[in-house]
């Protein structure tokens, strides 16, 4: 799905494009840039020309900040991708495309407090000071042991 990039983000992208010298240092340790471009400068130019972004691009960025840390020109790709995510959410009114896998997260968020997945604490003494709450990952830990 392609969404319109708002003016504020277009201005930010222009600013980052002007700073980028295309040295590709950021690509050495980035898990996603190589999938989308030969240089971040290409992405920035493309976004400015199209004025649209495919939702997969900003949602492929892990927002890890590696690129920002190594960039000699202080190009902030992490912030830009984060802003583009906000842009996508705003344009889609939060109804993100299903290929992002958001449906299962939404299901979890909606149902994790329902009676279906909830249980009452049995045997909790009224004067207890400490409660052991292992969280939902305890099953995975138990399997590993």
Report if residue 78 touches ligand SF4, rule: CB under 6 A: yes
Q: Tell me the C-alpha distance between 47 and 54, whole Å.
A: 10
Q: What is the DSSP letter of 26?
A: G
Question: CA dihedral in degrees (121, 126, 129, 135; nearest 10)?
Answer: 10
Q: CB of residue 79 vs ligand SF4: minimum separation in angstroms?
A: 9
- Which span (66-74, 88-96, 119-127, 136-144) binds ligand SF4, by CB under 6 A? 66-74
Please pick, from the candidates 15, 24, 51, 56, the single residue that binds ligand SF4 as defined by CB under 6 A: 24
Beta bridge partners of 2: 54
Q: How far is CA 63 from CA 6, 68, 106, 139, in A?
A: 20, 10, 21, 29
Report if residue 63 touches ligand SF4, rule: CB under 6 A: yes
Report if residue 65 touches ligand SF4, rule: CB under 6 A: yes
Report if residue 67 touches ligand SF4, rule: CB under 6 A: yes
- Which span (1-9, 16-24, 90-98, 137-145) binds ligand SF4, by CB under 6 A? 16-24
């Amino acid at each position: 799905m392609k969404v319109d990039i708002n003016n504020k983000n277009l201005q930010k992208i222009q600013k980052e494009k002007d700073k980028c010298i295309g040295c590709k240092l950021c690509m050495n340790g980035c898990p996603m840039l190589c999938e989308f471009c030969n240089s971040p400068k290409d992405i920035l130019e493309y976004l400015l020309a199209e004025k649209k972004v495919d939702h997969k691009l900003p949602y492929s960025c892990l927002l890890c900040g590696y690129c920002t840390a190594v960039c000699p020109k202080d190009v902030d790709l992490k912030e830009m991708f984060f802003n583009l995510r906000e842009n996508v959410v705003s344009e889609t009114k939060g109804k993100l495309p299903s290929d992002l896998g958001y449906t299962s997260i939404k299901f979890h968020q909606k149902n994790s407090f329902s009676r279906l997945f909830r249980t009452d604490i049995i045997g909790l003494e009224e004067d207890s000071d400490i409660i052991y709450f292992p969280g939902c990952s305890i099953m995975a830990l138990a399997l590993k042991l």
